[in-house]
Structure 1
Amino acid sequence: MTSRAISPDLPAALRAALEARLQGVSRNAAAERAAAISRTYRDGGGSTAIAGEIDALAYALARMPATYAADIASLNALVEIRPDFAPASLLDIGAGPGTATWAAAEAFASLKSFVLLDANEALRKLALDLAGDHGRQITYQRGEARGLLAKADAADLVIASYVIGEMGEAERTALAALMWEKTRGTLLVVEPGTPAGYARIIALRQQLIAAGAHAAAPCPHDGLCPLTSRDWCHFTQRLQRSRAHKQLKGAEVPFEDEKFAYVALSRAPVGPRPSRVLAQPAVGKAEVSAKLCTPAGLEMARIPRRDKQAYAEARRWRWGDAVMEQDAIPGRAGEGRDP
C-alpha cells in the first residue's frame, strides 16, 4: 500500500525556531541538562527535572526530533489505513513542548482546533512560544492530565505520545478509559519501542477494544495480539540529526533510529485491513521472507523469485509497512493463528 507520507524530520520552521533560541546559550550547559533530564526520565521521574527555560529548550532539542519522528510514522500509518479521516479538532495529552501537535498538524490540514494538556509550566511556555512563531493558535492548559481531561471537550483526534509510561497501572487504566470517552474519531497512543512500552500499548488496546474500539493501525484485526511473550510489536523510524541535535546528544552519527510502539483506535469499524510487516524482510536470491501480522494471525510469508511480480513487490517491503493480504502467494508458511 502507498499513501502520501510526511517526512519524519522536524519541519524546517520548527527546527529553526528551536535553534534560534539556543543562540547565546552554552551548548555544553544545555547538553548537560539534556543528559540529566534523560536520566530522570529513565528513572521514572518524568518531566519533574524540567524546571526552567533552559531545561525545556535542552529537552526539546534533544528529544523532540525522535518523538516527532515516531509520532509522524504512526500518523502516516493511520492516514494510509484511514485516508478519509479528516479531523477538525485535536486533544494532545501530556503535550510537553507540543511535539504531537506539530506532527498532527503536518498530517492533517483539516485540523483547526488544538487543545494541549500538561503539568509542566516550562514546557507549556515553550510550546506556546513555538506555536506563536508559526502563527498557530493553540489552547494549552496546565495541570494533572486526568483532571484536565475530565473537563475537556471531546475531540476528533486524541493523542497521548510517550505519556502513559510515566503512570502506574491503575492510573493508566483510568486515563485510557477517559481518553476513549473524549475521542470522537480516533485515539493514537505512542510509547517507546521496548518490551515494557509494548506491554502498556497492548494492555490499553485490549481494554479499549473491549469498550468498543476498533484497531486501525498497526493491527490488521481486533483480536488478541498473536505474538508470544518473547516477542513484542515495535517499529523503527530513522531521522536525520541537525548540528544542534548532535551537539546536545553528544553524537557524531548524522542520524538516529527511534524505536517505538503504537496503536490507533477508531470509533468506526475499519476494514478490510492489510497485513503489517513486523520486521525487516530478508531478501534472498531465491525468495523474500517476511514476518507478517495478518487478519488471520501471525504468519511468515515466503515469496519465491519465480513469481516475478510478487517478488518485485515484496523486495520493496520495509519494516512497518502495510501490505496487501498474501493468501494468493505460494509458499506462505503459517506461524500461528489469532485466538
Structure 2
Amino acid sequence: MTRAASPDLPAALRAALEARLRGVSRNEAAERAGVISKTYRDGGGSAAISSESDALAYALARMPATYAADIASLNALIDLRPDFAPASLLDVGAGPGTATWATAEVFPSLTSFTLIDANDALRRLALDLAADKGHQISYERGEARALLARAEAADLVVASYVIGEVSEPERTSLADLMWEKTRDTLLVVEPGTPAGYARIIALREQLIAAGAHVAAPCPHDGVCPLQPPDWCHFTQRLQRSRAHKQMKGAEVPFEDERFAYVALTREPVSQRPSRVLAQPAIGKAEVVAKLCTTDGIETARVPRRDKAAYAQARRWRWGDAVT
C-alpha cells in the first residue's frame, strides 16, 4: 500500500521560509499578508505581490494550506494509481513553487520540473527555495497561455489555485492548453467554495468532452449528481507553525483548508470506488455516510450488527475512496 504523504510542509521548506523571516518585522509581514489575501479574495490575483517581502509574507501565510490541499489531492490520486511514477512535471501558475514541492514529496520519480508564472517576485522566491532543496528546475516568467503554447509536454501537469485568477474565456483556452501538454495526468486544485467547485466542474466537463477520464475524486465520468446549494469539496487539517500563526493573526494551532479538485487521465482508471462527500456520522447503532457512487449520490447506512463492515465504516473519513 502506498504511504500517504504528510499535509504539513516539509521541515526543510518550513526552515527555509522562516530563515528568510529573520530581521523582518513580523507585524509588517502579517499586515502585508492580510492585504495580499484580501486582494486574492477580491479577484486581484497576485497583482499585490511586487517585492521580495511581499512574496515571503504571502508564502508564509498561504503556502502551508495550499501545500496541504495539493498533498491531499495527490494522495487521493496515488491511492487509486499506486504505480503512477511521473518523470516530468509542468507546474502552471506555480507562484512560490508550492505544487512543485508537493509533487516532489509524493513522486520521487520526478526528475524534470518546469514552472511557469507571471509574477517575478514569487518566481525569485521559488528559485531560492528550490536551490536550498537542491531541485534543478526551469522557471519561466510570463503569461500562462503563451508559455504553455511553447512548453514541453509533461507526464504530470498541475494547476493549483490558478484558474480562478483568469476570466472564463481565458480559463477555457487555458484548460485546453494544459490538457494538450498532459502526457498522462492533469491535476487541478481550487478553493473549496461554491465558485471554486463550479470552476472545477466546468473544466471537468470541457476536458471529458475532449477525451479525458476522471481518476479522482469522482467514481465516474458522468455529470456531477450534486444539486445546488450543495457542492463537492473536501477538507485537510494542517498544523500551524509559530510563524504561520503570526502571519494569520491566529491562536489556534491548526487550520482546516477546504478545497476542490479533479485529477484527469489519458487512460481510464480501472478501479474507481465511491467517494465520501462529508464526514460520516458514527453512532452506536450504525455509521451513516454520504457517498458519490457510479449510480449517483447515496446515503450508506452500515449497521453495527454487520461487525466487519461497521468496523471498516468507522474508519471512513471525508474524502476517502471506499467500497
Q: TM-score, normalised by structure 1?
A: 0.95
Deviations along 1:69-115, one digit per CA (max 9) or x if unpaired, are 00000000000011111100000000000000000000101000000
2:125 maps to 1:126: yes
SS for the counterpart of 1:10 is coil
Q: Which amino acid aligns with 1:135?
A: G
Q: Partners in 1 of 2:96 and 2:268 — Cα distance?
A: 33
Deviation of the 1:295 alpha carbon? 1.5
Supply the AA of the counterpart residue of 2:75: N
Does the Cα contact within 8 Å between 2:8 and 2:238 map onto a contact in 1?
A: yes
Q: Secondary structure at the match of 1:5?
A: coil
Hey, what does 1:115 align to over in structure 2? 114
* 3-state DSSP of counterpart to 1:226: coil
Structure 2 equivalent of residue 151 of structure 1: 150
Counterpart mapping for 1:199-278 below 5 A: 199-278=198-277
Aligned residue type for 1:9: D
**Cα deviation per residue 1:268-289 (whole Å; 9 max; x = unaligned)?**
1112211100000001111100
Matched residue, 2:6: 7
The amino acid of 2:36's aligned partner reads I
State the superposition RMSD in angstroms. Answer: 0.6
Count, aligned residues: 323
Shift of 1:230: 1.3
| Residue 218 of structure 1, CA deviation | 0.3
- Equivalent residue for 1:182? 181
In 1: Cα distance, 2:295 partner to 2:66 partner: 32
Deviation at 1:307, TM superposition (A): 0.3
Taking the aligned partners of 2:2 and 2:302, their CA distance within structure 1 comes to 23
Provide structure 1 residue ranges, at least 5 long, that are not aligned to the other structure. Answer: 325-339
Task: Give 3-state SS (helix, strand or coil) of 1:238's partner.
Answer: strand
Deviation at 1:252, TM superposition (A): 0.3
Whole-angstrom distance in 2 between the partners of 1:21 and 1:272: 45
Tell me how far apart the structure 2 counterparts of residues 272 and 151 of structure 1 sit (CA, whole Å): 35
**Equivalent in the alignment of 1:90:** 89
Question: Residue 261 of structure 1 aligns to a residue in which SS?
Answer: strand
SS in 1 for 2:156: strand
**Aligned partners of 1:102, 1:113: CA distance in 2, in Å?**
13
Q: What letter is aligned with 2:98?
A: T
Percent identical = 81
SS at match of 1:184: strand
Partners of 1:272 and 1:90 in 2: how far apart? 24
C-alpha distance in 2, partners of 1:280/1:204?
26
How many angstroms apart in 1 are the aligned matches of 2:147 and 2:39?
Answer: 24
Amino acid at match of 2:101: W
1:26 aligns with 2:47: no
TM-aligned CA deviation for residue 3 of structure 1: 3.6
Match of 1:74 in 2: 73
Partner of 2:289: 290
Secondary structure of residue in 2 paired with 1:320 = coil
Whole-angstrom CA distance in 2 between matches of 1:198 and 1:4: 28
1:297 Cα offset (Å)? 1.3
Equivalent-residue separation in structure 2 for 1:43 and 1:269 (angstroms): 37
Distance 2:82 2:282 in 1: 30
Shift of 1:207: 0.4
Q: What is the letter of the counterpart of residue 31 of structure 2? A: E
Per-residue CA distance 1:170-222 (angstroms, 9 max, x = gap): 10000001100000000000000000000000000000001000000000000
Residue of structure 1 in register with 2:100 after alignment: 101
Letter in 1 for 2:124: K
| TM-score, structure 2 as length reference | 0.99
Secondary structure of the 1:256 match is: strand
> Aligned equivalents of 2:225 and 2:41: distance in 1?
29
Query: What letter corresponds to residue 220 of structure 2 in structure 1?
Result: H
Aligned residue number for residue 314 of structure 1: 313
SS in 2 for 1:208: helix
d(CA) in 1 for partners of 2:127 and 2:316? 39
In structure 1, the residue matched to 2:46 is 47
Letter aligned with residue 214 of structure 1: H
